[in-house]
Structure 1
Amino acid sequence: MARTPAHRTHRFALLLSREFWEHRGGFLWAPVIAGAISLLLTAVFFVIGMVAMRRADSDAGIFLDDGTRMSINGLDLGVLAAQMSAEDKAQLAAGIDVAMMMSSSWPYIVMVFVMFFYCLGALYDERKDRSVLFWKSLPLSDGETVLSKVVSAVVTIPVMATLAAVATMLLFLVMLSVLVMIHGGSPWELIWGPGHPLAISLSVLAAIPVYAIWALPTVGWLMLCSAWARSVPFLWAVLVPVLSGVFVAMFSVMRIFGLDAQWFWSNIVARMLLGVVPMTGHDLTRLDGADFGGSGLLHLIQPAAVYSNLLQPATWIGAAAGVAMLLLATRLRRWRDEG
Structure 2
Amino acid sequence: MKAFLSLLKSEHLEHRAGQLWTPVIVSAILLVLLLGGMLYEGSMLINVTLEDTNVDVRSVEDVLEAIRTDLGPEKAKPVLQAIAFSSTYIALLPVLLIAALASYFIMLSSMHSERADRSVLFWKSMPVSDLKVAVAKFLSSSLGTLLFAAAVGIATALITAICYAVAGSTATATPEWQSAIHPAVIGSTALLAIATCLFYVLWAAPVYGWILLASAWAPRSPLLYTAIPPVAIGILEVLTTRSGSWLMREIGTRVSGSMLHIDLPLGNVLYSPSGLAGMLMNQIATMAASAASPRFWLGLVFTVLCIWGTSEIRRRRIA
The normalised TM-score by structure 2 is 0.80
Say which is worse superposed, 103-112 or 230-239, in terms of deviation.
Answer: 103-112
Q: Which residue in the other structure is 1:307 paired with?
A: 288
In the TM superposition, residue 240 of structure 1 has moved relative to its aligned partner by 2.2
In the other structure, the counterpart of 2:51 is none
Between the aligned partners of 1:113 and 1:152, the Cα distance in structure 2 is 14
Q: Pick the aligned partner of 1:103 from 91, 97, 100.
A: 91
Alpha-carbon shift at residue 34 of structure 1 (Å):
1.1
Assess if the C-alpha contact under 8 Å between 2:92 and 2:153 holds in 1: yes
1:170 maps onto 2:158 in alignment: yes
State which of 323, 327, 330 in structure 1 corresponds to 2:304.
323
Q: Relative to 1, partners in 2 of residues 1:292 and 1:333: Cα closer, same or farther, differing over 3 Å?
A: farther
**Equivalents in 1 of 2:15, 2:172: separation in Å?**
43
Confirm or deny that 1:192 pairs with 2:172: no
SS at match of 1:92: helix
Q: How far, CA to CA, are the matches of 2:176 and 2:123 in structure 1?
A: 56
Quick one: structure 1 residues 44 and 75, their matched pair in 2 at CA, closer, same or farther if it must change by over 3 Å?
A: closer
Question: Is the Cα–Cα contact under 8 Å of residues 88 and 161 in structure 2 kept in the other structure?
Answer: yes
CA deviation after TM superposition for structure 1 residue 323, in Å:
1.2
Kept in 2: contact 1:20–1:152 (CA 8 A): yes
What residue identity is the alignment partner of 1:150? Answer: F
Distance apart, 1:201 and its partner CA: 1.6
| Mapped pair 1:207 → 2:182 | no
Aligned-residue offset at 1:129: 0.8
Q: Which residue is 2:137 aligned to?
A: 149
Counterparts in 2 of 1:262 and 1:187: CA distance versus 1, 3 Å = farther
* Cα distance change, pair 177–53 in 1 and its aligned pair in 2 (3 A): farther
Deviation at 1:53, TM superposition (A): 4.8
| Equivalent in the alignment of 1:10 | 2
Name the CA distance, whole Å, in 1 between partners of 2:173 and 2:8: 41
Residues 292, 319 of structure 1: alpha-carbon distance in 2 compared, 3 angstrom cutoff: farther
The residue matched to 1:321 in structure 2 has which SS? helix
Q: Does the 8 Å CA contact 1:120/1:226 hold for their aligned counterparts?
A: yes
Give % identity.
24
Deviations 1:91-139 (A, max 9, x none): 2222222334433222112212221111111110000111101110111
CA contact (8 A) 1:177 1:191 kept: no
Q: Aligned with 2:44: secondary structure?
A: helix
d(CA) in 2 for partners of 1:76 and 1:29? 34
User: Given the superposition, is the C-alpha separation of residues 110 and 152 from structure 1 closer, same or farther in structure 2, using an over 3 Å criterion?
Assistant: same
Is 1:160 paired with 2:148?
A: yes
Report which of the two structures shows the higher radius of gyration computed on alpha carbons: 1
Alpha-carbon offset, residue 188 of structure 1: 6.1
Question: Partner residue of 1:239?
Answer: 228
Listed as ranges, the gaps of 5+ residues in structure 1 are 1-8, 55-71, 254-259
Aligned to 1:293: 268
> In the alignment, is the contact (CA less than 8 A) between 1:200 and 1:301 conserved in 2?
no
Aligned to 2:248: 265
**Inter-CA distance 48–236: structure 2 relative to 1 (3 Å threshold):** farther
Question: Given that residues 92 and 194 in structure 1 are in contact (C-alpha distance below 8 angstroms), is that contact kept between their aligned partners in structure 2?
Answer: no
2: CA distance, partners of 1:205 / 1:111: 13
1:40 aligns to 2:32 (yes or no):
yes
Cα 1:92–1:11 shift into 2, 3 Å: same
Whether the 8 Å contact between 1:120 and 1:222 is mirrored in structure 2 is yes
Aligned to 1:220: 209
Match for 1:325: what amino acid? C
- The answer to whether the Cα contact below 8 Å between 1:310 and 1:316 also exists between their aligned partners in 2 is yes
| One-letter code aligned to 2:23 | P
Displacement of 1:49: 4.3
- Residue type at the aligned position of 2:308: L
Equivalent position of 1:118 in the other structure: 106
Q: Does 1:29 align with 2:21?
A: yes
- SS state at 2:200 partner: helix
Q: Does 1:131 align with 2:112?
A: no
Q: Give the paired residue count.
A: 297
Cα distance in 1, alignment partners of residues 88 and 225 from structure 2: 38
Work out the CA distance in 1 between the residues paired with 2:249 and 2:123: 38
Judged with a 3 Å threshold, the aligned counterparts in structure 2 of structure 1 residues 264 and 143 are, in CA distance, closer, same or farther, namely closer
Q: Identify the residue that residue 59 of structure 1 maps to in structure 2.
A: none
Q: Distance in 2 between matches of 1:190 and 1:20?
A: 40
Give the CA RMSD over aligned residues: 3.4
The alpha carbon displacement at 1:223 in A equals 0.7
